[in-house]
Structure 1
Amino acid sequence: MLAITQYAFGGPEVLEVVEVERPRPGPGEVLIRVAATSVNAADWKVRAGLIQFGDPPLTLGLDVSGVVEELGAGVDRFAIGAPVYGMVFGGANAEYVVAQAHTLAPTPRGVDLVHAAALPTAALTAWQALAALGAGQRVLVHAAAGGVGHLAVQIARYRGAHVIGTARAVNHEYLRGLGADEVIDYTAVDFGAAVRDVDIVLDLVGGAYGSRSVPLLRPDGRLIDTQSSDAEDDPRYERFYVEPSAVSLREITTMVERGHLRATIDQVLPLSDAAKAHELGESGRVRGKVVLVAWDPPA
């Protein structure tokens, strides 16, 4: 089968189209014929060697949508040919990928496989990170127009929160359409002077955004960081790591099917253009997600 593989850490140019052996599912696993995947920040950070994820050769890709091709021993939740989506620990940038059955869910009704591929990692991150958010609370989402951010805005709104987002001015109308109550142009205004008394800050940027965000919290507030920041010593700081979960995916599916959550796709590219997709992701100028469609994908 074809796959996008890297034999060294580096820039997007290290990504190559190669021929590799098709995997076989073990006990509790499912072989998926990949329809599409999408680019997450973790993908290009692993590619560059900024996140430890093993040594090359590596085939990246956390998100997958496709159809069930083969079932491993003990798997009876899915039928051959069933459309599924989920989060895998790498390998989705290929024609086929093996996934643990407990990390997959049927794709939402009425959603094609391209849009389904934009959801898993980003939606799971937003859903799980904001699990404690309640109605009437104030949440600040940094990078609100990005892959995780635009879904976090919708999930926070769905949970009845007052939603504040940081984003460039060009994305303000878009974010208000997703449910943001306030939007701050971080390129023109110091967000630290524009907002106060926040219950939760979802920091999707990291670095110095941590120490700049802590003063905005209420005494019992929480800074939930997905990127690692300079606020680690504050007792309200929480480093968040997403977990693949069919249970969470089914809750996300319900939101999607009821019209409360939708993924924005900035661009759709062929998987052979993975290097270009990584360049777009690293630019920080993507609204929503970049989706990659596999070679000869299932309908």
Structure 2
Amino acid sequence: MPGSPIDLHAHSSVSDGTETPSQLIRAAVAAGLGTIALTDHDSTAGWQEAFAAAEGTGLTVIPGMELSTNYGPASVHMLAYLFDPLDGAIIAETARIRDGRLHRAERIVERIAVDYDLTWDDVLAEATDESTLGRPHIADALVRKGHVPNRSAAFESILHWRSGYYEKYYAPSPLEGVRMIVAAGGVPVLAHPATHGRYRPMSDDVIGELAEEGLFGLELDHRDNTEEGKRSLRGVAERYGLEITGASDYHGAGKPNRLGENTTSPEVLEKLIARATGTRPFAG
């Protein structure tokens, strides 16, 4: 669909979205998108279902993932596009991350249960069998139990990192993440790197180091990035030859983000596809 919007960041129920991959594809078509990237956290389990749902719709699906990385005390997310899903290093590392998320979530629930009516079974009830289980599912359980009105409120209160219930989980460094994605033939983009209410964890020089290792771009057109942060990082992108992407970070009913509210230019998508050697887009 020439000229149709390109949204390069969306989640399904395989991670912390509320719609199955098939439902996400139908929502993308209904929203008038031409291209959607499925980027579940640390998982490619939704790719094939998304491809099947997109068949005959005219929608292009960019297979991807949002890889968890840690930089000091901060969690840094790395969007990975068009990598080989059978790459052994990525399979092993994402399995380790998902396992770390699961056990970390169990410990967080144990802490919350001291002060609130919440059990591990309550959290499991919010996830599918293939979900990358984490704090969003705890948030949904807290909503269902009536402790908070919605997922956003849960993250601003009980699940806030200063609440006393928070705990970090294992993840590789951003540098390791970029190298791993590139080695698998993929294209890495730093996700929402200037979000509101958080300090910027990485200096310009560190972003430059990631660029030297194959970082493709910065996801600057995202509702959570501050205007000041976007202005600053556009200069960084120009300095290091990085592309600018935009996306919704859609989670279905899990977040207020709407499909296509921020988009990526066709020219940048063409460059992204040209760089990838791991797999190809699926043209529905």
TM bucket normalised to smaller = under 0.3
Q: Normalized against structure 2, the TM-score is what?
A: 0.25
Indicate the structure (1 or 2) with the bigger Cα radius of gyration.
Answer: 1
Indicate the structure with greater strand content.
1
> Which protein has greater RCO, CA pairs closer than 8 Å, 6+ apart?
2
